[in-house]
């Protein structure tokens, strides 16, 4: 009985060992069988057709380049000033007896109109006195002429030649003194009349009153300031021009008057309305400021207050002291290429596209630029367009797609793929 039991235990132990080995081996066998099966199915499956990889071309916006004649506009600014400003001063003394109603700040006077008058009575008396002295001197001159003629006749009765007669015998000194007295009396009369004339203060030109210093009943002496006036036939604006802009302005010579063809548009914003006036460069000062290194030209605006012509228009008054902007019509350059400012890269680098949509990178010399365009001289390759889109990695000769161009979405040919790979374009 004990031997049977021992044999049974040995068989049970062997069976347990066999089952343990199967537990570890079974998963491995399943994995191997699955791998072998998948490999076989993959080998039997039909392989898909290989397609060439296509590169995605950058899409850009372009604009055509054309040569044209360009007239440059130079911007400046300045303050409106009168061409002439005068302080009228009394040349005679006396009490002011008349003041014109318009003789106040802003009053307009035509040339020769009376602004005010100083009491003329004293000066009228002076004219009468000077006139009487002149009449007396003329009478004395007539008398001396008669005596000189009589002395000449008496000398001739002696039978001696007239050339040998003493000058005192012919009364020549007395005659010359009488003539001098007449001339002096005439000068005194002229001076008296001039003083009388200066009792009336008149406008020296078509003028506006700027400041009034005196009024009626006031006594003024010689040299007293009476009124400040300024001319209104035309105004001036002194315009600074930078050194880099001076070559684009048609400057008159310093010894020549300005040409009305050198147009300048003066403008000023008054409230919500912007007003403008036509003017021209009347002169060039011919001196460069040693600090700012700017040149100065002077623009002339005729009849700024619209007072001297019947056609006042709707430009309004250009008042003295206004701050204005100026657009100066400069020189005209022929066959200039205008490139949008957005197409300029770095120091004058431009991206162009030819007929094959190939990128060409060139560097240009910019003649001048403004807010919208950069202008260049010289030849540009025919049939090219300028790229206005910024490229992240531009390379000479790379292919591009033009936005909105028909056929731009077609696949590249082998040459395009080669260029695309060289330029590190992403391959899909």
Residue 3 has pLDDT above 70, yes or no: no
Residue 191 has pLDDT above 90, yes or no: yes
Residue 7 lies in a domain: yes
Helices then strands, each counted (H, E), the chain: 4, 23
Mean pLDDT, residues 60-88 taken together: 91
State residue 53's pLDDT score: 46
Residue pLDDT, tens place only, 74-85 = 999 999 999 999
Residue 225 has pLDDT above 80, yes or no: yes
User: 257-271 as b/e, with b when 16 or more CB fall inside 10 Å?
Assistant: ebeeebbbbbebeee
Q: Which of 13-17, 114-118, 145-149 has the lowest mean pLDDT?
A: 13-17
Residues 6+ apart with CB under 8 A from 174: 144, 147, 148
Residues 6+ apart with CB under 8 A from 102: 108, 109, 209
pTM for this predicted structure: 0.69
In angstroms, rounded to a whole number, what is the distance separating the alpha carbons of residues 216 and 101? 11
Residue 101 has pLDDT above 50, yes or no: yes
State residue 411's pLDDT score: 37
Q: What pLDDT band is residue 428 in, cutting at 50, 70 and 90?
A: very low
State residue 382's pLDDT score: 57
How far is CA 126 from each of CA 180, 187, 195, rounded to the nearest angstrom? 20, 13, 9
Residue 140 lies in a domain: yes
State residue 419's pLDDT score: 44
Residue pLDDT, tens place only, 394-410 = 888 888 888 877 655 44
Beta-carbon count within 10 A of 156 CB:
12
Q: What pLDDT band is residue 362 in, cutting at 50, 70 and 90?
A: confident
**Residue 183 DSSP one-character state:** H
Are 271 and 328 in the same domain? Answer: yes
Are 412 and 341 in the same domain? Answer: yes
Residue 107 has pLDDT above 90, yes or no: yes
Q: Which residue has the higher pLDDT, 48 or 279?
A: 279
Are 405 and 358 in the same domain? Answer: yes
State residue 202's pLDDT score: 96
Are 214 and 293 in the same domain? Answer: no
Mean pLDDT of the chain: 83
Residue 288 lies in a domain: yes
Strand partners, 405: none
Residue 30 lies in a domain: yes
In the chain, the number of structural domains is 5
Are 78 and 102 in the same domain? Answer: no
Q: What pLDDT band is residue 193 in, cutting at 50, 70 and 90?
A: very high
Are 349 and 414 in the same domain? Answer: yes
- Residue located via tokens 């802009």: 245
Residue 428 lies in a domain: no
Residues 6+ apart with CB under 8 A from 269: 275
Residue 55 lies in a domain: no
Query: Residue 387: which H helix or E strand, with range?
Result: strand 385-387
Residue pLDDT, tens place only, 4-26 = 455 656 665 655 555 555 555 65
Residue 427 lies in a domain: no
Residues 6+ apart with CB under 8 A from 412: 54, 55, 57, 399, 420
User: 74-93 as b/e, with b when 16 or more CB fall inside 10 Å?
Assistant: bebebebbbbeebebebebb
Q: What pLDDT band is residue 370 in, cutting at 50, 70 and 90?
A: confident
Are 107 and 145 in the same domain? Answer: no
Residue 226 has pLDDT above 90, yes or no: yes
How far is CA 108 from each of CA 87, 250, 338, 404, 415, rounded to the nearest angstrom? 15, 36, 50, 65, 82
Are 145 and 6 in the same domain? Answer: no
Out of 119-123, 141-145, 414-418, give the one with best mean pLDDT.
119-123
C-beta of residue 308 within 8 angstroms of C-beta of residue 253: no
Closest CA to 73 of 369, 389, 307, 387: 369
Are 249 and 270 in the same domain? Answer: yes
Q: Strand ranges (DSSP E) for 180-272? A: 200-202, 207-212, 219-220, 225-231, 234-241, 263-270
Residue pLDDT, tens place only, 297-353 = 999 999 999 988 766 555 688 999 999 999 999 999 988 888 888 888 887 888 888
Output the domain CATH number for residue 351: 2.40.420.20
Are 101 and 78 in the same domain? Answer: no
Mean pLDDT, residues 129-141 taken together: 95
Residues 6+ apart with CB under 8 A from 19: none
Query: Residue 342: which H helix or E strand, with range?
Result: none
94: domain range?
Answer: 85-111+208-232
Mean pLDDT, residues 184-202 taken together: 96
């Amino acid at each position: 009985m004990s031997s049977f039991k021992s044999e049974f235990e040995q068989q049970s132990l062997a069976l347990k060992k066999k089952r343990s080995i199967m537990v570890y081996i079974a998963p491995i066998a399943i994995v191997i069988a699955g791998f072998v099966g998948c490999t076989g199915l993959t080998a039997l499956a039909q392989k898909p057709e290989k397609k060439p990889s296509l590169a995605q071309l950058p899409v850009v916006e372009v604009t055509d380049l054309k040569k044209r004649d360009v007239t440059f506009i130079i911007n400046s600014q300045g303050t409106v000033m009168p061409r002439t400003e005068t302080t009228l001063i009394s040349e005679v003394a006396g009490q002011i007896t008349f003041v014109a109603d318009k003789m106040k700040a802003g009053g307009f006077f035509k040339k020769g109109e009376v602004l005010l008058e100083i009491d003329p009575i004293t000066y009228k008396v002076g004219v009468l006195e000077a006139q009487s002295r002149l009449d007396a001197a003329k009478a004395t001159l007539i008398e001396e002429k008669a005596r000189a003629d009589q002395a000449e006749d008496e000398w001739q009765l002696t039978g001696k030649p007239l050339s040998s007669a003493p000058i005192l015998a012919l009364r020549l000194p007395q005659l010359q003194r009488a003539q001098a007295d007449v001339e002096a009396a005439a000068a005194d009369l002229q001076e008296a009349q001039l003083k009388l004339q200066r009792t009336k203060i008149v406008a020296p030109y078509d003028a506006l009153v700027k400041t009034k210093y005196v009024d009626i009943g006031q006594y003024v002496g010689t040299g007293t300031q009476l009124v400040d006036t300024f001319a209104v036939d035309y105004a001036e604006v002194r315009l600074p021009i930078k050194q880099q802009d001076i070559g684009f302005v048609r400057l008159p010579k310093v010894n020549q008057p300005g040409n009305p063809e050198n147009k300048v548009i003066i403008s000023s914003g008054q409230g919500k309305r912007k007003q403008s006036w036509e003017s021209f460069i009347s002169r060039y000062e011919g001196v460069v400021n040693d600090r700012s290194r700017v040149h100065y030209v002077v623009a002339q605006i005729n009849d700024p207050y619209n007072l001297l012509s019947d056609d006042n228009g709707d430009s309004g008054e250009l008042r003295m002291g206004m701050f204005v902007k100026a657009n100066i019509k400069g020189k005209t350059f022929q066959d200039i290429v205008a490139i949008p400012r957005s197409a300029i890269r770095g120091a004058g680098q431009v991206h162009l596209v030819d007929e094959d949509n190939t990128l060409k990178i060139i560097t240009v010399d910019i003649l001048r630029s403004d807010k919208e365009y950069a202008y260049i001289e010289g030849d540009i390759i025919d049939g090219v367009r300028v790229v206005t889109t910024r490229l992240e990695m531009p390379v000479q000769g790379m292919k591009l797609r033009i936005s909105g161009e028909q056929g731009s979405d077609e696949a590249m040919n082998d040459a395009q793929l080669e260029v695309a790979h060289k330029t590190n374009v992403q391959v899909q």
